[in-house]
Structure 1
Amino acid sequence: MVATAQKILLLTFCLFLAGCSSMQSSTSGDAIGFTESGQASYYSDIHQNKKTASGDLYQHNQKTAAHKKLPFGSNVKVTNTNNGKSVIVKINDRGPFVKGRIIDLSKSAFSSIGNLSTGLINVKIEVVR
């Protein structure tokens, strides 16, 4: 009787652990194929070397970006819809929190697909591997 109760307790504990691990399965792989269109902006100079929401330091020369919901570490193809130029960025921050804007790009990512002097560009984003 005691051995059966121990087996049931062990099985219950294992099922509990398995349930906990699956509750936190939000990975960038879950979002592959997600697309969105809107405006992109870029980080101002005051953000250089400041911590992002993921804990990384923001660096102008890295191809990184902020998105409101995509998981940190997601690779996102950002395409300027006016000229067709694209760049791949890694999500490591949250934002932008301005209506109509869907992504904040690092300065180097923005400049590789658009002119910094415009401040905003129309883009389509797609999560890729």
Structure 2
Amino acid sequence: MEIWINPSCSKCQAATTALDEAGVAYTVRRYLDDPPTAAELEAVLTRLNLAPWHITRLSEPAAKAVAHLPMDDFHRADWIEALITNPILIQRPILTTDDGTTAIARDPETLARLLGE
């Protein structure tokens, strides 16, 4: 299992605590320090069945990098580039289980589902 986190995020802290309490082995990726490549981000988006604008934190100041971009396939590469250049824009935490199931695990229900509870 892998989890993409920002260590200062309360939702990420809650997710890692839940994983620890469940005794699950996992790898932490501090995606602000180790941003995903375009290919890695595309793979996550495919597993999530979402477009890049769906996982963009538009309330972040860095979101002005994408504020002018249409949310369409023609501009998808621009959105991807903005997310890998400004990883703070990526919604968190993103959890991928060993079977490839991926979710944005911001709530206890999603965490429980991923942990098979």
Structure with bigger helix share is 2
What TM-score do you get using the length of structure 1 for normalisation?
A: 0.20
What TM-score do you get using the length of structure 2 for normalisation?
A: 0.21
Tell me which structure has the larger Cα radius of gyration.
1
Structure with bigger strand share is 1
